[in-house]
Amino acid sequence: MTSAIGLGIITAGHRHGWPVAAGGSQSITNALSALLAQFGGRIETGIHVTSFTQLPKADVTLFDLSPTQVADILRDHLPTSVARGLSRFRYGPGAFKVDFAIEDGVPWTNPDAGRAGTVHLGGTFTEVASTERAVHAGRMPERPFVLVGQQYLADPGRSDGNIHPLWTYAHVPHGFTGDATQALIDQIERFAPASVTGSWRPPCVLPPI
């Protein structure tokens, strides 16, 4: 199901451009929750579900969880082979996210990057392949693959004057517990020299996911 989201974004991107939610991604959550309420649904938070017996009876139950979490909750409600397969699920790389507030935008050496809502930074094909291979092998690369989100270009309401929000994240090994902030910044500065000095505000660093 998650691949369907990517397919939808790619399709829209080829026809109209990469879609950006006005007001930020929270507006998508607000719209979905409003639609759910319209059809009589209710959202409950702050509840820790550890067993399938805690859930109300329903024709269909959807889990927005990882495979191992689903296996833990369903326990005896799954065929042994299915439970074993979920428990052995091999996770892919994580994402180390850093949010910035930047003055006047990123001074990219390639002007086209300054017009893109999302910029992928990896260098040459060989560099990207080597970096991703290291991450999948559990090693943190010196120059990680980095994504930079400049959605304010399509949604100016996210900015405060000449201060613009910039979200970034780097691919890191699964279970990574280190700090990839500097490696992430260094990778950005390869393609936007000296952009940190005088341009960036203190970053907000989020734990890897």
Residue-wise pLDDT for 1-24, tens only, equals 567 777 877 887 788 777 888 988
The Cα 174–Cα 14 span in angstroms is 31
Residue 195's pLDDT band (boundaries 50, 70, 90)? low
Lowest mean pLDDT among 101-105, 118-122, 138-142, 172-176: 101-105
Question: What local confidence, expressed as pLDDT, does residue 1 receive?
Answer: 55
Within 10 A of 35 (CB to CB), how many other CB atoms are there?
Answer: 10
Mean of pLDDT over the chain: 88
Write out pLDDT tens, residues 89-112: 988 899 999 998 888 889 999 999
Judge whether residue 202 has pLDDT over 70.
no
Helix %, strand %, coil % of the chain (to 5): 40, 15, 45
Domain ranges of the chain: 24-87, 94-206
The helix/strand/coil state of 120 is strand
Which spans in the chain are helix H? Answer: 2-15, 26-38, 67-74, 80-87, 125-136, 181-191
Question: What local confidence, expressed as pLDDT, does residue 199 receive?
Answer: 55
Share of the chain above pLDDT 90, in %: 65
